[in-house]
A and B are shown apart, each in its own frame.
Chain A
Amino acid sequence: MTNGLVLAIIGAALAALLAGIGSAKGVSLVGEAAAGVVSVDPSKFSKVLLLELLPGTQGLYGLIAAMFILLRTGVLGSGAEALTTQQGLGFLAASLPIAVVGLISGIMQGRTAAAGVSITAKKPDHNGKAIIMAAMVETYAILALLISVLMILNIAV
């Protein structure tokens, strides 16, 4: 295994790891707030569940980026490529947008969605507004995923 391949695998790991941590933290925070509401009013379960799902997407984006790296480097499928250090660094750098933005946006989206749980608890008819507010944070995770994927696909192997 070349140094370049090790660097690419580290990049894939970072994308899945950091974005996953962000999602786990975000989902758990919304889950806490949602559980508080449901413990008093179980009929609101489906409405708060939607909010709880939102910060989970960053983990999926991290997974997608990691899969692309593993496919492009041949770790999954045709056999691992003998990557140069430069190519490896390229994959590592490509993983960073979704890794870092996934971590931060997952946590921040969790905070926004947990605050939105309060809206759902008090005014269930305005649940959609809470979802929109939390979904706004998602934009930046999507942009980060887009740039990571474009970079991964355009590194010459």
Chain B
Amino acid sequence: MGVQRSNIIFAWILLLPAVLYVAVIVAYPLVETFILSFTDASLRKVTNWVGWINYEKIFNATFAEVIIRTFIWTFFSVALKMIIGTFGAAMLNTAVPGRSLFRLLTMPPWVVPMAIGIFMWGWMYNGQFGMISGMLQRLGLVDGPVAFLAYGGTAFWATIITDVWIGVPLVTIYFLAAIQSIPKDLYEAAWTDGAGRFYRFRRITLPLMVPSIITMSMLSLIATFNSFDIIWILTQGGPSGQTTTMIIDTYQTAIGSKKYGEGAARAVLICIFLSAFCFAYFRVTRRLNPEKRA
């Protein structure tokens, strides 16, 4: 028992700094957000309790729109990341010459500071002088310049594409590792039975990738739901609010208009959604590998 107890004490000594740090910088603000959401906190010195008013305020027509938009935005972004990531991983897994170079070339969007990648996309989306509009005109697909970020519909998709671009490298590398952990003899057995390459991919690779795809799409869902930089730099939520997601809306309310109380109520709502996703994630991963300890 003595050894056991000294082990536990030692473990806690090791953990304490990290636990305290996260408690002060993350847990305490989380609690304070919750408390603030019931006040009219702003730049003024006095702060009053206002009860549920902040929550009542956010449930107007435009906010319902923001929630729906956030979910649509997140859905398409995650779905595209999964599809492109699977495609990329399958291609990079092939034994063709040059593949280690191709794998290396997949990484840049992930390692480059996000803001820089976003600036580059911002220029490509430029209507008069940007690459995409220019190329489309060259190919005769559109008549005049298309200012992608100036119209709600195109800006919505433009921000999704940029988010996908930033997320794809990690998804691809993760899926590549998942494919490589599939036992080789499965493929060899299928090959001896005369199964073609595409058939082997559809019947062996894809089914065995399903757990990884589910895990990754949950993780990606959470990250994408939190996505801020891309929309903020490209459109700041515009034009006329057409790319305003919940995070952007919260930022505009809290930091832009300095309505801390109202902003906090919106943040609490985001936290509720995120907690639901987290809960689902833990449930799903536990079901996928039941024997796992943590």
Q: Do A and B come together as binding partners? A: no
Q: Which A residues contact B (CB, under 8 angstroms)? A: none
Q: Which B residues contact A (CB, under 8 angstroms)? A: none
